[in-house]
Amino acid sequence: MSTPDAELRRRRRALRKASRSVPGHGWSHPAEELERVAACARANDLAQDHYGQGAVIEDLEDEVATLFDMPAACFMPSGSMAQLIALRIWADRAQNRHTAFHPTSHLELHEEHAYRELHGLEAHLLGDPERPTLARDLAELPALASLLVELPAREIGGQLPSWEELLELVAAARERGIRLHLDGARVWEAAAAYGRELAELGALFDSVYVSFYKGIGALPGAALLGPEDVVAEARVWRRRQGGTLYTALANAVSAHTRLPEQLQRMPSFHARAAAVAPLFAAVPGIEVLPDPPQTNMFHLLLQGEPAELELARDAVADEHGIWLFGGLRSTERGARTEIGIYGAALELSDAELQGALESFGASGALRA
């Protein structure tokens, strides 16, 4: 990602605020969600929670456990905390420090190797980084306590194994006595893409992490789902990691009240991604990965200099009022960015987006 100066950052914030967006939920003032939660707390005369206890937390935990048809759930302040705790519990139970996940897993790339530095786990990175984990990746590994599977795999454009490949992977892990943990940062989106119920995914895994702030668009928060005893132990680890907070009312109410509507909309996000991606791919110098998208998410590879491409994007936002993509990072294959299709893109017509993309293509920043 290029590092623009303060003046450019200010201009971009203003542009994003004024524009309709292709990726994401669309701009909203940070006060808006707090106001919505406060109004809900007033209307329902909600009582304050207290260190993880209280109806606002427990109702949310019940709701997500029910959605996945799993015995129990525990609210967590973050997904990083939820997943580390799951892997630690499975390791302790198996008396085996070995776990495994995709080379681009959040745990490998974005958590400062907490699994090793904090929990003393050893991780095996599975298979080709450019494709999802498959059953054959488990061959020739030492005995594992757990396997973490991210559905979809975010860093490779939201790729999913086919349902059959997923069942094969699960069967291969079960055969080896490996506990299966689902990195469900975007599991709502995965279920919509598979055309499956969340409970069908829950049935395949021993523990599941779900996130509330990404696809659901709520305040930060997550949950860890699993057997009663595992979730009870997770509450102990949540306290150890410093995640049992005096109150999480705003986060829990935000998540709980957004879930039903956002879950209903997930299939429309996937469908919109399928329609939007070809419009990008039609522009010379832009490649879509994977093509076609397998979920509501895909990556763009743009040929050109990131800083120039971002200025061209800014100019399109100025002219068309449409924000095409977020920050770009340089890769060997071009400037790369992630597009997650949520509510914002539903408000854009194909013709409007095509017009914006034609301007972008004509800017000269793309090397076709």
Give the residues lining the site for its own copies (CB under 8 A).
13, 29-32, 34-35, 37-39, 41-42, 46-48, 76-82, 84, 110-114, 117-119, 213, 219-220, 236-237, 239-250
* Measured distance CA(33)–CA(44) in Å, rounded: 16
Residue 121 or 312 with smaller CB distance to its own copies: 121
Give 18 or 118: the residue with its C-beta nearer to its own copies. Answer: 118
Q: Please report how close the Cβ of residue 74 comes to its own copies at its closest, in angstroms.
A: 13
Question: Distance between CA atoms of 73 and 344, rounded to whole angstroms?
Answer: 30
- Smallest gap from residue 81 Cβ to its own copies (A): 3
* Residue 218 Cβ vs its own copies, minimum distance, rounded to whole Å: 10
Rg for the chain (alpha carbons), in Å?
21
Cβ-based nearer residue to its own copies, 81 or 223: 81
CA–CA dist 353, 317 (Å, integer): 11
Contact of 135 with 171, CB cutoff 8 Å: yes
Residue 152 CB, shortest distance to its own copies, in Å, is 19
Instruction: Please give the helix or strand (H or E) that residue 76 lies within, else none.
Output: strand 72-76
**Integer CA distances (angstroms), 48 to 152, 153, 275, 311, in order:** 35, 37, 44, 47
CB of 306 to its own copies, least distance (A): 19
Q: What is the nearest approach in angstroms of its own copies to the Cβ of residue 19?
A: 16
Beta carbon nearer to its own copies, 206 or 233: 233
The pair of three-digit structure tokens given for residue 256, joined into one six-digit string: 């709980």
Q: Which candidate, 273, 365, 275, places its Cα nearest to that of 328?
A: 365
Closest by alpha carbon to 217, among 4, 14, 36?
36
Question: Do 200 and 36 form a contact (C-beta atoms < 8 A)?
Answer: no
Q: How far is the CB of 351 from its own copies (least distance, A)?
A: 31
**Residue 80: what residue type?**
S
**Helices (DSSP H) in the chain: which residue ranges?**
6-18, 30-43, 55-68, 79-94, 106-109, 114-117, 163-175, 187-194, 198-202, 228-240, 249-281, 306-320, 343-346, 350-362
What is the three-class DSSP state of 25?
coil
To its own copies, the closest distance from the beta carbon of 211 in angstroms equals: 9
DSSP string computed for 263-289: HHHHHHHHHHHHHHHHHHHTSTTEEEE
Our CA dihedral for 85, 89, 94, 96, rounded to 10 degrees, sits at 40
Least Cβ distance, residue 83 to its own copies (angstroms): 8
| Length, in residues, of the chain | 368
The residue (of 110 and 367) whose beta carbon lies closer to its own copies is 110
Nearer to its own copies, 203 or 236 (CB): 236
Which CB, 118 or 282, lies closer to its own copies? 118
Nearer to its own copies, 63 or 92 (CB): 92
Peptide bond into 227 cis (omega under 30): no
Question: Closest CB to its own copies among 111 and 137?
Answer: 111
- The nearer residue to its own copies, 48 or 331, going by C-beta atoms, is 48
* Smallest distance, its own copies to C-beta of residue 99, A: 16
